[in-house]
Structure 1
Amino acid sequence: MMRESRTSFLKWCGVALLLPLTAVAQPETDANQVKFPKQFETWAATQTQSESEDMLAHYPASIILWAGSSFAKEYRSPRGHQFAVADVSRTLRTGTAVPAGEKGLSASCWTCKTPDAPRLMKEMGVEGFSDANFVDLGQEIKSVVYCSDCHIDGSAKLALPRPHAQDAMAKVHLPFEKQSSAMQGAQTCGQCHVTYYFQPERKNKVNIPWIFGNTADDIEKYYDTRRFYEWIHPISKTPILKARHPEFEHWSRSKHAEVNVTCVTCHMPAATDAKGNEYTDHQVGNSLQHFDTACAGCHESQAELTSTLDKHKKDIDAKARKVEDLLVKAHYEAKAAWDAGATWPMMNDAIMGIRHAQWRWDFAMASHGLYAHNPQEGHALLDKAIEQVTDARNVLKFVAGHIGASEPQYPDISTKEAAHKAIGFVESDAQKAKDAFIKQEIEKHWDPIASTGY
């Protein structure tokens, strides 16, 4: 889709423009805008979903749990699809320019942000793409999440263009072409709303770890079998696993999935235009905003449903904060044992307990909408995490007594600033370097979507 036609359309439908109109060339007609005007209009309206919260400020204990990784630098709540490229470009997690000859962040970080990623994979090969540096491909990225991410371009026919998603559905014997249209819709969302990792032996290409299945236990078994870890925790020496928004996994075992209610049903409900024509609302958002069309078929009262969801959120959040507190203590108790001369044979059980407990906490809390998608699984994950980290701390207490370790020194993590200080991260310095990169590279040489969305 040409930028000029997008700009023209957004101006027409009242969406605020952040590009100077003097820079816009003569508009060209976009085929999708003409064939699917209401879908296009609602998709464009995701630019209004611009609010984002600083999740590290809300939950500073996460900084300790993610110490040693980029997630401890910045972690914000997601915004509308229009901001996919801008947000990944500007976060501290993707850093700054890579010195010549050095290896930077993998271009795989672009995979779910833009239809340019599948295009580049075709041109460069999947591993050629993933082996490139993230920042080196910045000038190639000219579109955010768009029609061709879920459809054969110019058609309503659903598609699954990302190789890692095609591979994953084959692993669980749900090939895309053999599914119902409802399940295909869920799978198009599940291309990106799913957990994954970068496969080191395949040049960091995106891989979904579903060899044994897609539960937390199954994925953990896969990672443990491979002796895989994403980083070694600098405080406890734990080989850490990281979950990434496993919405598809949680949904697939939910009551909604049992009755064929999918992501599309709730977040992209059917709507009717002024002429009575039905279309799918592409302003993906909170389903309660569309209670009458998305929820009323199964739920009688919006107030009652809201109350139930609020209770799920309150209960799960309280349990998650307990797990975080226990894990922070465990990381520092492990440090005290190491500092006193503990050996791996002494520490193995405790370290694996921390690894597995933090994995389950992350698999629960990294999922956007767990409270609605599958609260039962959320509670089960956090209950198991409490059990595992408690066992780990008991082992650490025994080891500490055996070797005469000093009492652990727990840091102040009452605020994001205090937690950053505890791990030695200076946010202001990182932000200064990022701001310079944005000004010198992104704003001068990258497409404007890396700054504003369309």
Structure 2
Amino acid sequence: MRKSTMRIAATAVGTVALVAALAACAPAGSGNPQEPVTGAAPVETPEADEFGVVLADSWKDIYPGQYATYKANEANSPEGKMNYLEEYPELATMYAGYGFAKGYDEAASHSYTLRSISETPRVNDKTLANCITCKTPQFTAMVNSEGDEVYARPFAEVLAQMSEPISCYNCHENDPTQVVVTQRHFAHAMGSDAEQVPVEAQTCGQCHNEYYFDPDTKATSNPYEGLAAMDAEAILAYYDEMGFKDWEHPETGAPMLKAQHPEFETIYGAEQSSMAKQGYSCADCHMAPVSDENGEYSSHELVSPLENPAITEQCGSCHKDIAGEVRGWQKEVTDREHAIAADIKRYTDELAAQKDSLDADKLAQAQQIQRHAQFYWDYVMVENSEGAHNYKAAHANLDKAEAQLEEGFALLGIA
């Protein structure tokens, strides 16, 4: 069984729940990015909750079309999702000693972010509130109001106060006529480069990105500043320079890293994808324009563009068979992921067997190879498009993983 061709992965710490899959062409027939469509501004903003968040239900009569399509995301539930630990049995070795070895399932939609984080086996009594980042607008508002110290509070204590999954506030604050980046750490990471990327992409990217928890403050942070530093090699160098690790592998002693879900970096970072270079946003491919009894607006049911003819029809000016192209890209990337995962497991097992016989310098070199090879692989595997967002970058990172492993096997004397 291959990975789903439309994974909806997580955009938050410690778990996975995003809602995007394949990048194709934007729906605008002119080839220009689609402008966001909104309804008329409400005469009066509904009352906010104790966190200062206007809940989605409060907007339903003012923006009925947007609300109805937002609620349609509930059809993408946690039931029947792929178990990645079964799909990639090598992960039991690769993630050994880390929470993802306990449970790693294909994510459901934004509607289930709080349910997913509350049910995952990856949390325990030592888990901090930073794992709630991007799971609910109420936590975002709490951090923005009270400061970074919120991240270090006990997970269970803070989660018990939350009730709203990802909703309007995350991308609009309390004004649906505006598109806003509410995650301040991501706004900081973008810096002046924010002017180079559509804000509709940044509101998705603020949660669909690579991040880590600051070792001192426990704050959710990004390992870069500016677009040029948003690629796997630069991020790996950032972590190496600061001596950061997510965990130590129990069998080899290697200081390991767990990539998150670097959709934004894959599309807009460094060399950028072809779609990014043309100025397209995530909304162009994942939020189709709608015209119905509620007026003209962008659908808030977030799906693969291949599932929406209104979008795929517009791809024909550049792609003769966009569905076929995407399937081809995904098969190539997924096949390589499986092959390289087997090699990473073999290398890890061999390093574990030889660890006690290696001198300190050789052991450190071998451990760094494990760290680097697995990070390059993980960076591709956890990105939610199977290579479709930027297949050139996906293959380049898999090439780097293979190069690391080739060096590692030679170091250990393995053919």
TM-score if structure 1 supplies the norm length?
0.74
Instruction: Find the partner of 2:65 among 38, 46, 58.
Output: 38
> 1:63 is matched with which residue?
92
Are residues 1:342 and 2:358 paired?
A: yes
AA matched with 1:89: S
Aligned counterpart, 1:447: none
Match of 1:193 in 2: 208
C-alpha distance in 1, partners of 2:307/2:371? 38
1:324 to partner: Cα distance: 0.8
Per the alignment, in what secondary structure is the counterpart of residue 112 of structure 1? coil
Match of 1:72 among 98, 101, 104: 101
Question: Relative to structure 1, is the Cα distance of residues 37 and 322 closer, same or farther in structure 2, using a 3 angstrom cutoff?
Answer: same
Tell me the amino acid that sits aligned with residue 39 of structure 1: Q
The answer to whether the 8 Å contact 1:250/1:370 transfers is: no
1:117 to 2:139 alignment: yes
Q: Flag the 1:33–1:65 CA change in 2: closer, same or farther, 3 A.
A: same
Cα shift readout 1:254-306 (whole Å, capped 9, x = no counterpart): 1111112221011111111136x211100111111113x22322325998221
Shift of 1:312: 1.2
Counterpart secondary structure, 1:200: coil
Letter of the 1:117 counterpart: F
Q: Secondary structure at the match of 2:259?
A: coil
Q: What is the letter of the counterpart of residue 110 of structure 1? A: I
CA 1:337–1:29 in 2, change beyond 3 Å: closer, same or farther? closer
Q: Distance in 1 between matches of 2:129 and 2:57?
A: 28
Select the residue among 266, 269, 290 that pairs with 2:308. Answer: 290
1:236-269: per-residue Cα shift (whole Å, max 9, x none)? Answer: 2111111101000111111111112221011111
Change (3 A) 1:123 1:29: closer
1:326 touches 1:390 (CA, 8 Å); kept in 2? no
Contact 1:299 1:305 in 2 (8 A): yes
Contact 1:164 1:207 in 2 (8 A): yes
Q: 1:133 to 1:91 in 2, by over 3 A?
A: same
2:176 equivalent in structure 1: 155
Quickly say closer, same or farther: Cα 1:166–1:301, change in 2 above 3 A: closer
Match of 1:133 among 154, 159, 167: 154
Structure 1 residue aligned with 2:199: 184
RMSD: 2.1
Distance in 2, matches of 1:261 and 1:348, equals 43
Judge conservation of contact 1:216–1:363 (CA < 8 Å) in 2.
yes
2:31 maps to none
Answer with 1 or 2: which has the greater Rg: 1
Matching residue of 1:167: 188
Q: How does 1:183-222 map to 2 (within 5 A)?
A: 183-202=198-217, 204-211=218-225, 213-222=229-238
Match of 1:230 in 2: 246
Q: Name 2:74's counterpart in structure 1.
A: 47
User: How far did residue 370 of structure 1 move?
Assistant: 3.7
Select 2:299's aligned residue among 271, 275, 281: 281
Residue among 345, 348, 372 paired with 2:388: 372
1:349, distance to aligned residue in structure 2 (A):
2.0
Q: Distance in 2 between matches of 1:297 and 1:189?
A: 22
Q: What is the TM-score with the length of structure 2 in the denominator?
A: 0.81
**Tell me, which stretches of 5 or more residues in structure 1 are unaligned?**
1-27, 99-103, 401-454
SS of equivalent to 2:213? strand
1:136-156 deviation line (CA, Å, top 9, x unaligned): 212111101010100031432
Q: Percent identity between the aligned chains?
A: 29
Q: Are residues 1:263 and 2:282 paired?
A: yes
**Matched residue of 2:316: which SS?**
coil
How many residue pairs get matched? 354
Separation in 1 of the partners of 2:56 and 2:159?
26
Q: CA deviation at 1:47?
A: 0.6
The answer to whether the 8 Å contact 2:210/2:260 transfers is yes
Gaps of 5+ in 2: 1-54
Counterpart Cα distance in 1 of 2:318 and 2:360: 56
Alpha-carbon distance in 2 for matches of 1:255, 1:179: 15
